Amino acid sequence: MTMRVTPRILALAALALGLATILGAWGFEIFGGFVPCELCYQQRLPYYIGLPILALTQLFWPRLQGLPRLALTLLVALIFAWGAYLGAFHAGVEWGFWPGPTSCTGVGGGIGFEDLGNMDATRIVPCDRPQIRIFGLSFAGWNAVISVMMVGLLGWAAIKARRG
Q: What is the pLDDT of residue 4?
A: 87
Q: What is the pLDDT of residue 162?
A: 80
Q: What is the pLDDT of residue 115?
A: 52
What's the sign of the alpha-carbon dihedral 155, 87, 39, 20? positive
Q: Using the 8-state DSSP alphabet, how is residue 19 labeled?
A: H
Q: What is the pLDDT of residue 98?
A: 85
Tens of each residue's pLDDT in the chain, 164 residues: 667 889 889 999 999 999 999 999 999 888 988 888 888 899 999 999 999 999 999 998 888 888 888 999 999 999 999 999 999 999 999 888 888 777 776 544 455 555 555 555 555 677 788 787 879 888 899 999 999 999 999 999 999 888 76
Q: What is the pLDDT of residue 134?
A: 76
Residue 94: CB atoms within 10 Å: 24
Rounded to the nearest 10 degrees, how much is the dihedral formed by the CA atoms of 141, 146, 148, 154? -170
Q: Using the 8-state DSSP alphabet, how is residue 109 labeled?
A: -
Instruction: Give the relative orientation of helices 7-30 and 38-59 as an angle to the nearest 10 degrees.
Output: 140
Q: What is the pLDDT of residue 161?
A: 82
Is 0.95 topped by the overall pTM?
no
Q: How far apart are CA 86 and CA 6, in angstroms?
A: 29
Residue 156: CB atoms within 10 Å: 18
Q: What is the rounded radius of gyration, in angstroms, for the C-alpha atoms of the chain?
A: 19
Q: What is the pLDDT of residue 65?
A: 82
Q: How far apart are CA 139 and CA 143, in angstroms?
A: 6
**Closest of 52, 47, 60, 53 to residue 20, by C-alpha:** 47
CB 53 within 8 A of CB 76: yes
